[in-house]
Structure 1
Amino acid sequence: MQLKPFTAILPTTSGLKKITSGTTTDWTAADEQLQTTPAYYWYELTSHGIHQWRLLANWTAPATVTTMAPAAINTVLYPQQPVIEMLIDDWVGHFPKACDVTDPAGTTHRLWQITDADVLADITETMAAITPRKTWLTTTPTPLVMLVAEPEWTKFDQPLTMPAHLIRLG
């Protein structure tokens, strides 16, 4: 997969309060902030004590891809990769959380912003050799993708959704 880091727009404190309360229809510029550095984001969803990990990245090639959940940020499954699991285990604790919010459904969403140049290069290189699992076709190109290992995806009977305004391309 041809991935690269991206500059994101994340919610401010007021935006996080709106996500928590489910009142995002009155979203304003004061509810979001442009990050200053391109990054990858580790994304952890927690529901009923079960955690699921995703990697948020910029999909650089305008390729035809198959996805699990066509949306503003497509969810792409890939075969389990011990290297990626090791990267998550080794790096998440070294970076501060960029965002931590619980939505009205009780699902907690946490983002870690990965900005270290060496780590970014390792993720880009590691993911380059991975072929996504085929599911169904989307013809809409998307600049952002959420990558999920197949065992992570199967942790929940119904896929968990990302709140509106949690993260987007800057």
Structure 2
Amino acid sequence: MQLKPFTALLPTASGQQKIQTGATDWTAADTAVQATPGYYWHELTKNGIHQWRLIAAWETPASVTTMTPAPINTVLYTRQPVIEMLIDDWVGHFPKALELTDAAGVMHRLWQITDADVTADITETMADVSPRQTWLTTTPTPLVMLVADSDWTKFKQPLAVPEHLIQLAN
């Protein structure tokens, strides 16, 4: 996959409050640009079940189609235990960027992975991973969430990501 770290916009305290209540009146004060580009390890939890996603920039012209109602496209790939193991090992070494429960009752946790050596390892490790070809399309997208097939099937209905949880900073 053609992935790279990116500079993100994350919700501030007021933005997190709006995600928790489902408010839609967003202002510039509700988001903040992160200082360092990175990957984000995203944990979604509902009813005690966890799903893990890696959020990354997706190099053009490669692109994917949206599978869930969210501003970030979702890419499925066959489970590769080495990838999950590496990311699980890395997460504990980085600060949690945010933790909140959205208006739909889904808990979201984001860890920002910024260390240059670690991001290089993720980029290199994911380069050999092939997304499921059925989800490829010609529509460009700046960000993707990579979900292993086994994680994707944990929920009968896909969990949506709030629109302002994380965005690509311009």
Q: Please indicate the TM-score interval, normalised by the length of the shorter structure.
A: over 0.9
Identity %: 74
CA distance in 1, matches of 2:109, 2:28: 21
Amino acid in the other structure paired with 1:154: T
Q: Deviations over 1:44-100 (max 9, x none)?
A: 000000000000000113125455347521100011011111112201111111011
Contact 1:70 1:138 in 2 (8 A): no
Unmatched tracts of structure 1, length 5 or more? none
* Matched pairs, number: 169
1:26 equivalent in structure 2: 25
Question: CA 1:164–1:8 in structure 2 vs 1: closer, same or farther (change >3 Å)?
Answer: same
TM-score normalised by length of structure 1: 0.94
Aligned twin of 2:127: 128
Does the aligned pair in 1 maintain the 2:74–2:144 contact within 8 Å?
yes
Match of 1:10 in 2: 10
Contact 1:67–1:137, Cα closer than 8 Å, also in 2: no
Contact 2:70 2:162 in 1 (8 A): no
How far, CA to CA, are the matches of 1:122 and 1:137 in structure 2? 24
Whole-Å separation in 2 of the counterparts to 1:70 and 1:161: 6
- Give the match for residue 157 of structure 1: 156
> Taking structure 2 as the reference length, what is the TM-score of the superposition?
0.94
Give structure 2 stretches of 5+ with no counterpart. Answer: none
Aligned amino acid, residue 6 of structure 1: F
